[in-house]
């Protein structure tokens, strides 16, 4: 029966991140630097809120868009943190993680032949969803612009088929951000055009030395922007699966239909825990961010001392060093690093063809693990 499977689905590959993560299981003595998951436990007060929800039998369906209390907490959070104003009753949807938010956003706005401009290298989950919607990913090569998509690049790629521009910043895999000035230039290009923007801001609370800025704060941009966010990275709640989409009502009301028939609603237990996270835990990310910054500085300096070229990340918890000088493909390098050096990192090719020649290293691990990982990495490159 396989010949009857949707051809768009058959042509999709399992994420390169997961492929490599699965391979690592064969090397139990390897240092694992692959997965972008906080190593901090979910804060106790959030776990307690989840337990209380169970004890009080708050385990039924919620409204499709989520609990009223959570929608209010979410809109208050982005207002307080990023100066974004959304109506909690009509302009936010609680999703099953940011991933489902991305899915319903693309499925709502894309049609057959719609073009989506996105930076390369980039998180690998966007392209498959775009293609399953009949859309066409159009990559901007950001390797010579510090891994940042520019207004000039976007303008050069616009066609009459452009339906959306994807802005995933802070970036997975590079850790780069777009500054307020850089976003202002992009907004100037898009302000008067009938083009959606999907802004994936899941790492918004993990920006170092400055405040996160959203494209939606600029004149004329909120009306066309869908913001993706969630609690996985900010509150170390990956398994709770709580995300959000924020958009004007005339967009959200259509995404809500897709969401309704897709999942009905997010877990009620997780939603009650999320209310606690976004209210009493509004600044829970701050101590985690401080620790990530220390880890970033340590690994960045170690890589520079090894003679490795790498852009210093300003957000998230990844470094994306170049391994081009070693003359191996990123997959060959990562495989040998795992087999011979006993360190697991993700080959850059997992993040589109524009990631070839690079390696993604996650520093969402303890300093002890990072020190040993760097020691092994250095020993491995000395053997090449």
Residue with tokens 């690994």: 299
Using a 10 angstrom Cβ sphere, with 0-12 exposed, 13-18 middle and 19 or more buried, the burial of residue 353 is: exposed
Provide the number of structural domains found in the chain.
Answer: 2
Q: Are residues 344 and 364 in the same domain?
A: yes
Q: Domain end: 254, 279, 304, which one?
A: 279
Q: Are residues 219 and 74 in the same domain?
A: yes
Q: Are residues 146 and 290 in the same domain?
A: no
Q: pLDDT, tens digit, for every residue of 171-203?
A: 999 999 999 999 999 999 999 999 999 999 999
Q: Name the stretches of the chain with pLDDT < 50.
A: none
DSSP 309-337: --PPPSBTTEE--B-GGGTS-HHHHHHHH
Residue 362, CA distances (Å) to 17, 96, 108, 259 in order: 11, 24, 32, 31
Q: Domain end: 234, 254, 279, which one?
A: 279
Model pLDDT, residue 20: 73
Q: pLDDT, tens digit, for every residue of 222-260?
A: 999 999 999 999 999 999 999 999 999 999 999 999 999
Model pLDDT, residue 10: 74
Single out the residue of 168, 106, 104, 113 nearest to residue 142, CA to CA. 168
Contact of 283 with 277, CB cutoff 8 Å: no
- Three state DSSP letters for 149-170: CCHHHHHHHCCCCEEEEEECCC
Q: What is the dihedral of CA 164, 167, 172, 177, to 10 degrees?
A: 170
Contact of 332 with 193, CB cutoff 8 Å: no
Model pLDDT, residue 281: 98
CA distance 345 to 249: 41
Q: Are residues 54 and 95 in the same domain?
A: yes
Q: Are residues 62 and 25 in the same domain?
A: no
Q: Are residues 268 and 336 in the same domain?
A: no
Q: Are residues 219 and 269 in the same domain?
A: yes
Q: Are residues 64 and 173 in the same domain?
A: yes
CATH number at residue 20: 3.90.1150.10
Cα angle value 35/211/76 (rounded, 5°): 90
Average pLDDT, the chain: 96
Model pLDDT, residue 94: 98
CA distance 244 to 362: 24
Q: Are residues 156 and 126 in the same domain?
A: yes
Q: Are residues 9 and 118 in the same domain?
A: no
Q: Are residues 117 and 29 in the same domain?
A: no
Q: Domain end: 225, 253, 279, which one?
A: 279
Q: Which two tokens stand for residue 227?
A: 């913001």
Residue with tokens 């169970």: 54
Domain limits for position 254: 44-279
Residue partners of 7: CB distance under 8 A and separation at least 6: none
Instruction: Give the helix/strand (H/E) hosting 84.
Output: none
Q: SS3 for 117?
A: strand
Q: Are residues 226 and 124 in the same domain?
A: yes
CATH number at residue 125: 3.40.640.10
Supply the pTM of this predicted model: 0.96
């Amino acid at each position: 029966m396989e010949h009857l499977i949707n051809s768009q689905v058959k042509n999709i590959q399992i994420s390169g991140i997961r492929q490599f993560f699965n391979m690592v299981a064969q090397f139990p003595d390897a240092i694992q630097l692959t997965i972008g998951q906080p190593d901090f436990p979910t804060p106790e007060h959030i776990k307690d809120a989840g337990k209380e929800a169970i004890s009080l039998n708050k385990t039924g369906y919620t409204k499709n868009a989520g609990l009223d209390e959570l929608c209010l907490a979410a809109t208050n959070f982005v207002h307080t943190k990023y100066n974004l104003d959304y109506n909690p009753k009509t302009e936010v949807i609680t999703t099953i993680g940011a991933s489902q938010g991305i899915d319903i956003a693309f499925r709502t706005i894309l049609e057959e032949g719609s073009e989506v401009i996105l930076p390369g290298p980039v998180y690998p989950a966007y392209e498959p969803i775009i293609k399953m919607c009949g859309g066409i990913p159009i990559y901007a090569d950001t390797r010579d612009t510090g891994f940042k998509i520019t207004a000039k690049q976007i303008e050069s790629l616009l066609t009459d088929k452009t339906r959306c521009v994807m802005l995933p910043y802070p970036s997975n895999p590079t850790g780069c951000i777009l500054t307020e000035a850089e976003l202002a230039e992009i907004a100037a290009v898009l302000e008067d055009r009938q083009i959606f923007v999907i802004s994936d801001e899941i790492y918004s609370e993990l920006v170092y030395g400055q405040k996160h800025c959203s494209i939606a704060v600029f004149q004329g941009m909120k009306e066309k922007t869908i913001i993706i966010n969630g609690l996985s990275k900010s509150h170390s709640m990956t398994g709770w699966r709580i995300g959000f989409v924020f958009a004007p009502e005339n967009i959200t009301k259509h995404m809500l239909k897709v969401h309704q028939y897709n999942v009905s609603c997010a877990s009620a237990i997780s939603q009650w825990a999320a209310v606690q996270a976004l209210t009493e835990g509004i600044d829970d990310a701050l101590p985690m961010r401080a620790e990530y910054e220390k880890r970033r500085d340590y690994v960045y300096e170690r890589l520079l001392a090894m003679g490795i070229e790498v852009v210093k990340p300003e957000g998230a918890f990844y470094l994306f060093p170049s391994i081009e000088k070693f003359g191996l493909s990123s997959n060959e390098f990562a495989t040998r690093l795992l087999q011979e050096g006993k360190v697991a990192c993700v080959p850059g090719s997992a993040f589109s063809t524009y990631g070839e020649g690079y390696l993604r290293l996650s520093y969402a691990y303890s300093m002890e693990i990072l020190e040993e990982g760097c020691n092994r990495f250095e020993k491995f490159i000395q053997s090449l």
